[in-house]
């Protein structure tokens, strides 16, 4: 049941017939794992916390650097040298103290993610690391929960949803099997800061739609070009030989 404070805090959401009181209660019962507290995490997490998601776990091992402040807009100059997950948690707690927020200050790997994702409703991939992206994909597939994946580099953003509740959904590995691991390269490339806000907001949007049971589209990659302001959509199919998600057919 929503109390008076919640009815007022979330009133502009509750007014939407697609959300209403039932939807707001669903939001408050949901649990989301956010991997990465850089630009995408900074954009997606505040929207989910403001919307009243029940529980959020943030993972990031990294500390805040002066060069992050151009785009990771919930970090302040005085936060330089502090852990990203810890500082984001503090910011989110003052935004909405009703949300339970955990900050995990560890390097994400498959074992840690398997543990943290155990009771989660979905995972948001807000990282910039190919190896961790592959591990997140394996873990989301293991628990059969949706994975909402975002990325941004230069003037381009990408968004894809791998919904492992849906047998027909492809996975990150289906799409990027042949991609080379080039960890750390993203740190050397430029990125136009609004792209992170746009893609991170899209990740929060799709996460809320998953919670509300609204239609989400799988097997498509949406690509945003900030120079033209246009989105393009590319369809893909599940790879029947993918060594992450093909097991359904082998059994
Ligand atoms: Zn696959």
* Per-residue pLDDT tens digits for 28-47: 999 999 999 999 999 999 99
Q: Tell me if 241 is assigned to some domain.
A: no
Q: How far is the CA of 111 from the centre of ligand 1 (A)?
A: 20
| Model-wide pTM > 0.85 | yes
Alpha helices for the chain (secondary structure H):
4-9, 11-14, 20-28, 39-50, 84-95, 110-116, 130-143, 172-176, 193-212, 247-250
Q: How far is the CA of 125 from the centre of ligand 1 (A)?
A: 16
Q: 56 is in which domain, residue-wise?
A: 4-235
Q: Tell me if 207 is assigned to some domain.
A: yes
CATH of the domain at 72: 3.40.50.720
Q: Tell me if 170 is assigned to some domain.
A: yes
pLDDT at 251: 42
pLDDT at 106: 96
Q: Tell me if 144 is assigned to some domain.
A: yes
Q: Tell me if 245 is assigned to some domain.
A: no
Per-10-residue mean pLDDT for the chain, 251 residues long?
95 98 98 98 98 98 97 98 98 98 97 98 96 97 98 98 96 84 69 98 98 96 98 95 76 42
Average pLDDT over all residues of the chain: 95
Q: How far is the CA of 234 from the centre of ligand 1 (A)?
A: 16
Q: How far is the CA of 143 from the centre of ligand 1 (A)?
A: 14
Q: How far is the CA of 146 from the centre of ligand 1 (A)?
A: 13
Q: How far is the CA of 171 from the centre of ligand 1 (A)?
A: 4
Q: Tell me if 240 is assigned to some domain.
A: no
pLDDT at 181: 60
Q: How far is the CA of 177 from the centre of ligand 1 (A)?
A: 8
What are the tokens at 4? Answer: 């008076």
Q: Tell me if 205 is assigned to some domain.
A: yes
How many structural domains comprise the chain?
1
Q: How far is the CA of 121 from the centre of ligand 1 (A)?
A: 20
Region of residue 79 (phi > 0: left; psi between -120 and 50: alpha; otherwise: beta): alpha
Q: How far is the CA of 245 from the centre of ligand 1 (A)?
A: 4
Q: Tell me if 220 is assigned to some domain.
A: yes
């Amino acid at each position: 049941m929503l109390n008076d404070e919640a009815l007022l805090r979330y009133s502009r959401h509750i007014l939407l017939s697609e959300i209403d009181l039932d939807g707001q209660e669903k939001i408050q019962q949901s649990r989301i794992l956010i991997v990465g507290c850089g630009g995408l995490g900074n954009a997606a997490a505040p929207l989910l916390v403001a919307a009243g998601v029940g529980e959020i776990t943030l993972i990031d091992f990294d500390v805040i650097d002066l060069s992050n402040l151009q785009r990771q807009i919930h970090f302040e100059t005085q936060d330089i040298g502090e852990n990203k997950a810890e500082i984001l948690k503090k910011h989110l707690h003052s935004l909405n103290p009703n949300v339970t927020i955990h900050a995990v200050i560890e390097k994400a790997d498959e074992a840690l993610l398997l543990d943290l994702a155990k009771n989660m409703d979905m995972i948001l991939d807000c990282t910039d690391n190919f190896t961790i992206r592959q591990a997140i994909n394996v873990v989301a597939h293991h628990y059969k929960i949706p994975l909402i994946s975002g990325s941004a580099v230069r003037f381009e953003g990408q968004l894809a949803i791998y919904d492992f509740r849906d047998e027909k959904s492809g996975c990150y590995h289906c799409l990027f099997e042949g991609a080379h691991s080039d960890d750390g390269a993203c740190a050397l490339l430029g990125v136009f800061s609004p792209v992170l806000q746009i893609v991170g907001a899209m990740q929060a949007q799709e996460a809320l739609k998953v919670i509300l049971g609204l239609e989400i589209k799988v097997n498509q990659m949406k690509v945003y070009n900030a120079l033209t302001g246009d989105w393009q959509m590319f369809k893909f199919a599940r790879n029947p030989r993918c060594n992450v998600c093909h097991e359904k057919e082998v059994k």
